[in-house]
Structure 1
Amino acid sequence: MNQHTPQRLYLMQVGDMPEYQIPIVCYLVQTSAGQNILIDTGLPELMPEEAADFANGQDVITQLSRIGLQPADIDTIISTHYDIDHAGRHAHFPNAQYIVQRAHHLDAQSNPRFAANRGQWEQPIERIRLVDGDTELLPGLELIETSGHVAGHQSVLVRLPQTGAVLLPIDAVPFSADFIRDKADPENPDAAAIQASTIKLLDLVEQEQIKLVIFGHDHQQWQALKTLPDFYA
C-alpha cells in the first residue's frame, strides 16, 4: 500500500484583492504514502509596488503549521504559473521539487510580467521538473496544460477516494461565470487560447462526470467550500 495516490485535498485562502473581493488561494494534496504536494504558494511576504492591489492574509506557511507541517515537509510544489499571487513564496520550501510546464518556465526567463517575483520561482534547475503538456504526476493526480492566461499555464485534476474527481482550473478559468463554451473577449489577444483551454476543461468535466470544480478566485464559491483544517477526502 505504498503507492502514492491522493487521499486528502486541503484548500487555503492566503490573501485577497480587497477592492474586488477576489481570494488568493493555495492547495495541498496528501497521498497515501505520506507525500505532501503543494499547489501554488500564494503572495510574497513583501509586496512589490506593482502588486499593490493584493493583500496577504494568513500565509501558506502559517496555515500548513496548523496541520503540523513545516516548509521542509513539502515534497513537491506544482507551480501552475509564475504570477506573483501564485508563486510568491516558492523559495520558502527547502526540500521541494518544483513541477512546471517547460513552455511556461522558458517564457518566464525573458517575460517582464514575471520579473518582480524572479527571486522566488528561479530555483536551481536540478530542483525543477519541466513537463510538456498533459502529464500524470502519479495515479490520481494529473496536470492539464491550459495555456491562454499565460503560456504554459497548467490546471490540476485530483481524484479522491470519497469525493471523486476534483478539478482545479486555477487561472485558466478563475471564476465560475466564465466556465462556458461561448466566452469571447475581442479585446484580449489571448482570447482564442483562453477559450480553447476552457472548452478543453469543459469537455473533461463532461467525460469524467466531475462534480466539484473549484474556481480559485471566485469569492462566492469559496464562502461555501471546506478550508483548512477541514479537507476533502
Structure 2
Amino acid sequence: MKLQLLFSGRIRPIGAPVPAYLIRTGDATVLVDSGPPRDRAGAHRTDPDERVELEPGEDVPSLLGRLGVAPGDVDVLVSTHLDPDHAGNHDLFGAAEHVVQRSHHAWATSDAGARCASTRDRWDRPDARLRLVDGDTELLPGIELIESGGHVPGHQSVLVRLPGTGPVLLAADAIPMIAALDPEKRPVFPFDMDEAEVRASTRKLVDLAHAENALVICGHEPSNLTDLRAAPAYYD
C-alpha cells in the first residue's frame, strides 16, 4: 500500500496547503478529497475574496495526471467533508464510488449546509455511485474511516495502515493544524461549527493516534509543505 500527498493550492493569507490524498492498495485506487475547483485556478489574482491561491496545474486532476492516474482510474472517492476546497472536482470521478458520512451528506444537502452550495453541482449528481456510511467504518483492509464531526456535522478522518511507515492518520479539518492537537487548549477556527464536538473529535483522534503510534497529518498545517513528502514522493 502506498500513500501520496497532493497539495492543491494554499489558503490565503496563511499559506497553508489544501490537501488531497491518493492511496493505492494494489487492488484499489482511493482518492481522499478532490481539492478546490480546477476552474478557479488563477482566480486569486483578480478576486480578493477568493480564499484559495490555486495556480494553473495545481488542481487535483492535474496533479493526478502527473502521477499517471486518470479520473477513471480512481475506484473510490472518500469525502472528509464537502466544503468547496475539498470537493471541487468530484464531478470528474463519476466512475468511482463516492463515500461520505450519511449525517454529513444530509446536512450538506439541506439549507443548513449552504456553505457547500457553490460546488454542489460537482458532488450532488444523479449519476453518482453514492455510499453513505454511519460512524467509524472499515473502508478496505488497511483503511478506516473515523467519524470526527464538529468542523461540520459528519466530518470524517482516515486512518491508513501502511506496511512500512505504520499507521497514518489523515485528520483533515478535524485537526487542521499542529496548534490544534490539544483537545482542551486548541483554538476553535472560524469555520468550525460546534466547539464541544470539535474538542471531542480532537480528543478521539489524538487518543487513537497515541494508541496506534500513528503519524498525524493535520489538514491545513503550513509546515506540511516542507516537513512532509509530497507527491511524487510517497509513504509506504
TM-score (norm 2): 0.90
2:51 is aligned to 53
2:211 is aligned to 207
SS of 2:218's partner is: coil
The aligned runs of 1:1-233 (5 Å cut-off) are: 7-33=1-27, 35-47=28-40, 52-57=50-55, 58-110=58-110, 111-124=113-126, 127-183=129-185, 190-210=194-214, 212-233=215-236
User: Structure 2 vs 1, CA of residues 213 and 115 (structure 1 numbering), >3 Å: closer, same or farther?
Assistant: same
Letter in 2 for 1:191: E
1:70: Cα distance to partner? 0.7
Structure 1: distance between partners of 2:49 and 2:195: 24
Give ranges in structure 1 of 5+ residues lacking alignment: 1-6
Structure 2: distance between partners of 1:176 and 1:215: 6
Letter in 1 for 2:131: R
SS of 2:87's partner is: coil
Q: Does the 8 Å contact 1:14/1:56 carry over to 2? A: yes
Identity, % of aligned positions: 44
Using the TM superposition, name which of 154-163 and 40-49 deviates more. Answer: 40-49
User: Structure 2 vs 1, CA of residues 51 and 91 (structure 1 numbering), >3 Å: closer, same or farther?
Assistant: farther
SS of 2:220's partner is: coil
Q: Does the 8 Å contact 1:156/1:168 carry over to 2? A: yes
Give ranges in structure 2 of 5+ residues lacking alignment: none
Deviations 1:92-122 (A, max 9, x none): 1131110000000001111211111111110
Letter in 1 for 2:53: A
**Count of aligned residue pairs for this structure pair:** 225
Deviations 1:98-154 (A, max 9, x none): 000000000111121111111111033761000000000111100000010000000
TM-score (norm 1): 0.91
Structure 2: distance between partners of 1:77 and 1:50: 31
Q: Give the CA RMSD over aligned residues.
A: 1.9
Q: Does the 8 Å contact 1:185/1:191 carry over to 2? A: no
